[in-house]
């Protein structure tokens, strides 16, 4: 292998390495952003669960003798 071929090979490897570093950084940024979005969505989901539980308990307290599943629809 000549010196010129070796230099070309090194330049090619350096170019590939730089491209891979950029790709890895881009992917890391995307994964980090997605994790933040997942964290926000999990907090919102938990908040909605708590609110739904409160609403169910509130409805049960107002009408303890008839549950929502036993109640007849209005068209009967």
Q: Where are the domains of the chain?
A: 22-48
Confidence at 64, pLDDT banded by 50, 70, 90:
low
**More confident of the two residues 53 and 60:** 53
Radius of gyration of the chain (CA): 30
Q: For residue 11, give Cα distances in angstroms to 3, 5, 7, 53.
A: 12, 10, 6, 63
At 75, give phi and psi (nearest 5°): -80, 0
pTM of the entire predicted model: 0.63
Q: Does the structure show a pLDDT above 70 at 8?
A: yes
What is the spatial distance between Cα 76 and Cα 67, in angstroms, rounded to a whole number? 17
What is the spatial distance between Cα 34 and Cα 27, in angstroms, rounded to a whole number? 11
């Amino acid at each position: 292998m000549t010196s010129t071929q070796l230099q070309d090979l090194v330049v090619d490897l350096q170019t590939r390495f730089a491209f891979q570093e950029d790709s890895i950084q881009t992917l890391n940024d995307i994964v980090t952003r997605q994790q933040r979005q997942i964290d926000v969505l999990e907090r919102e989901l938990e908040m909605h669960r708590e609110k739904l539980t409160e609403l169910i308990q509130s409805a049960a307290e107002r009408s303890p003798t008839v549950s929502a599943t036993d109640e007849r629809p209005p068209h009967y």
